[in-house]
Amino acid sequence: MSKAEQAGTSGAIRSSSAQLTRRDLLKTAAASVWTVPVLVPARVLGKDGTVAPSERILLGGVGLGGRGRAVLKEMLAEPDVQFLAICDLNKSRREIVKKMVDDKYGNQDCAMSSNIREFLAERTDIDAIVTATGDRWHALAATLAMRAGKDVYCEKPSSLTIAEGQMVVEAARRYGRVYQTGTQGLSMPNRVYGIELARSGRLGQLHTAYAQIAPWENALMRRDCLPAEPEPPKDELDWDAWLGPCPWRPYNSAYVRGAWRGHWDFHTSCIGEWGAHTIMQVQAGIGAQDTSAIEYEYVDNPFGDGLVARYANGVKLVLSLKQECWPGVSGQRFDGSEGWIANSGGEHDQSRASSPALLGDVQKILDEYTARTGRPLNHTRNFLDCVKSRSQTAAYPEAMHRAMTTVHAANICMWLGRNLKYDPVKEEFLDDPEANRLRARTMRAPWIA
């Protein structure tokens, strides 16, 4: 064989090998088990009760504080998940996650990183990430991850503006990624029951829905800055990266401990805090997951309590701080011509209805839901299943964006102090340039998608 032929053959071999993935190699090893059985341990084939490596979802984390670690704990309990690395610009937080993961696996293998772009570029072995940063980083982290070929589980509220929601939807579509936002109510049995009663017509003709907003902070939010404090060393906390796409603000340790809530620069207000959950649940129940409310009626109080949003299908949504039918938190309610059903969470995680008859078919309704959708009543499990099947999640990008658009439009209504009309097809407010300017915010370089 000539040198040219040898080079060509070698090149062909290299090209073919480059197309083999880690999973392909494992499958090849599994196929040869009958000829060389002693070389392939049972755990590799998943024959000892474990999940074979070729079937595991390799997971990474971005910005996992208290809420993020709660989600991670759920995912670590799944036998087909292997968590590999944490990226967090806060040293103490990434070390907490590393210990949590290493204790789970009994080793010291969990890698740590503080730079999201380097993390996403270098960790080509990671299939999916879970991110639970503050509101300001959700959409950007998700977009960068999907652009890097990762599927994404992103805590709510998943966008800070209407434009950010559009960015997430486009990234998921363009890069063919699975995305789930952390609106767990869409997978919780009692919430699903209420949604299904509304969606299926068992309440008759729907006319009104109620979504609870958080009973702290307000819709107007603070525009000032906390007093400046000396910045910590960059390896302990990268303050510039913490701010991310938001305007530059002086460091104050209270921001890092959660006091960013209630500030215009960082938060989606009391409406977004719980409305990211409850409005998305309402839109699922009234058949509006792929649209947003078209009219918003201003209310003269700092919370938006009583703000009315109307949908093109005639249903009226009322934002509410409290209803007697919500003994717990983050409540939703559907009213129809044949009765109403309400749900809330926390210690009072159950349904209430206008008639006991509306609470008589809980298991039947839930069984119908799981049969119709193929989804488990477990939000993180739904995400993991969809990573494998490439199916649409319960809280898919468009549903997230349309619910958050209703959140953002309600906020804009409150900020401007006047009624608004919105076109969900064009995604713009009607005859209101000032409102349209508030659909987006400038993203500070270099923290842009």
**100-117 confidence digits (pLDDT tens):** 999 999 999 999 999 999
Angle separating helix axes 269-285 and 189-199, nearest 10 degrees: 60
Q: What average pLDDT does the segment 241-260 reach? A: 97
Quote the pLDDT of residue 382.
98
Fold (CATH) for 53-184: Rossmann fold (3.40.50)
Q: How confident is the model at residue 9 (pLDDT cuts 50, 70, 90)?
A: very low
pTM given for the model: 0.89
Q: Could you tell me the two tokens for 5?
A: 């032929």
Unique residue bearing structure tokens 């993961």: 101
Q: Looking at the DSSP assignment, which residues form a beta bridge with residue 345? A: 329
Quote the pLDDT of residue 54.
83
Quote the pLDDT of residue 8.
37
Q: What average pLDDT does the segment 322-342 reach? A: 95
Quote the pLDDT of residue 47.
53
Q: Is the pLDDT of residue 272 over 80?
A: yes
Helix H or strand E segment including 30 = helix 22-31
Span 185-220+267-437 CATH architecture: 2-Layer Sandwich (3.30)
Q: Taking the domains of the chain in order of start, what are their residue ranges?
A: 53-184, 185-220+267-437
- Under a CB-based contact definition with an 8 Å cutoff, are residues 409 and 291 in contact? no
Q: How confident is the model at residue 49 (pLDDT cuts 50, 70, 90)?
A: low
Quote the pLDDT of residue 345.
87
Quote the pLDDT of residue 4.
39
Quote the pLDDT of residue 380.
98
| pLDDT tens profile 144-182 | 999 999 999 999 999 999 999 999 999 999 999 999 999
Q: Which of 44-58, 143-157, 333-347 has the lowest mean pLDDT?
A: 44-58
Q: Is the pLDDT of residue 208 over 90?
A: yes
Strand 316-320 vs strand 308-310: parallel, antiparallel, or unpaired? antiparallel
Cα gap 413→401, rounded to integer Å: 18
Quote the pLDDT of residue 72.
98
Count of positions (residues) in the chain: 449
